[in-house]
Amino acid sequence: MRLLITGGAGFLGSHLCERFVNDGHEVLAADNLITGSKENIRALLKRKKFRFIRRDVSEAFVVPQKLDAILHFASPASPPDYLKRPIETLKAGAMGTHRLLEIARQKKCAFLLASTSEVYGDPLVNPQKESYWGNVNPVGPRSVYDEAKRFAEALTMAYHRRHGVDTKIVRIFNTYGPRMNPEDGRVIPNFITQALAGKPLTLYGDGSQTRSYAYVDDLVEGITRLLFSKFHGPVNVGNPNEMTVKKLADLILEITGSKSKKVHRPLPVDDPKRRRPDIALAKKILNWTPAVPLKEGLAKTIFYFEKKIRG
């Protein structure tokens, strides 16, 4: 197969590129490098079946080659990153998705959208099933990401219904692993870099809010299975192992052996209080469940950050 992966130099995008090249496919990665990094694809650049182009998906975009699938992973994804780049984030989800769906329609190829658990906003039900419509503030600061992805999902379903495009939508829950940017401001990179530097771990609010963290290899497996499935609606892919931010901080202190203290900082606006995926659908249609325990995944991630920090 020949695949176009947008956001191919990002955290998830680069892992997907690696997976598909290793499986013998040809991969064209596109990225404007505003949050992605060439460092993430350094080893891939030497592979014959991999090619990188620097492109912004929200600008005019021509792909001369035949394609079998497009995976749209281009977007800032960490809250500090998308809050810093609100317009770019909306454009990547809206114009970017539109341009890529048009290419998929013209080339008659599959289209997989990287969506997010943020479509559920600050959920009023827990865990979240795909059938839950969410509780999103449409004009709050986070709306630049949440509403862009909700629009992207709506557009994807419209192209499926109106033009018969073979679409898939993955709703990605919190994911971590090697190649996350240590400075992207998300909770796991923050806590690990703080613990390794002996600095205080910054808990936003009282730290009682929950998330459920999936290791990147589990995500890549779920997304790969979804691409080859016949299912067109949204599918949650994440790890249902829900825990408070405070407990995560303690776990990272335990694994790193750090003596760092914990300090409290203000809770970001509209920060969801609970988040946990219901993965019954993914289990049923993809025969997929996450396999990597949190302690093991965190240990691998800590090892990566230690190496990166030491240079």
Binding site for ligand UDP (CB under 6 A): 78-79, 174, 186-187, 190, 202-204, 209, 211, 245, 267-268, 271
The pair phi, psi for residue 29, each rounded to 5°, is -105, 135
Catalytic residue among 82, 145, 176, 213: 145
When the beta carbons of 102 and 242 are compared against ligand UDP, the nearer one is: 242
DSSP code at position 96: I
Residues 73, 6: contact at Cβ < 8 Å? Answer: yes
Instruction: Report, in Å, the least distance between residue 275 CB and ligand UDP.
Output: 6
Classify burial at 162, counting beta carbons within 10 Å of its beta carbon; exposed 0-12, middle 13-18, buried 19 or more.
exposed
When the beta carbons of 5 and 214 are compared against ligand UDP, the nearer one is: 214
Instruction: Report, in Å, the least distance between residue 270 CB and ligand UDP.
Output: 10
Instruction: Report, in Å, the least distance between residue 145 CB and ligand UDP.
Output: 8
What number of CA atoms fall less than 13 Å from residue 254's CA on the CB side? 10
> Which tokens belong to 138?
């449409």
When the beta carbons of 267 and 285 are compared against ligand UDP, the nearer one is: 267
Instruction: Report, in Å, the least distance between residue 27 CB and ligand UDP.
Output: 27
Active site residue 120: no
CA dihedral 22→169→78→94, nearest 10 degrees, is 120
The CA distance from 244 to 235, in Å, is 24
When the beta carbons of 79 and 297 are compared against ligand UDP, the nearer one is: 79
When the beta carbons of 6 and 190 are compared against ligand UDP, the nearer one is: 190
- DSSP, residue by residue, 131-186: T---B--TTSTTHHHHHHHHHHHHHHHHHHHHH---EEEEEE--EE-TT--TTS--
When the beta carbons of 101 and 245 are compared against ligand UDP, the nearer one is: 245
- Quote the Cα angle for 235-183-218, to 5°: 30
Q: Give the position of tokens 């989800």.
A: 93
User: Computed from CA positions of residues 206, 209, 212, 215, in that sequence, does the dihedral angle turn out positive or negative?
Assistant: negative
Residues 15, 177: contact at Cβ < 8 Å? Answer: yes
Q: Where are the alpha helices (DSSP H) in 257-293?
A: 280-286
Catalytic residue IDs: 145
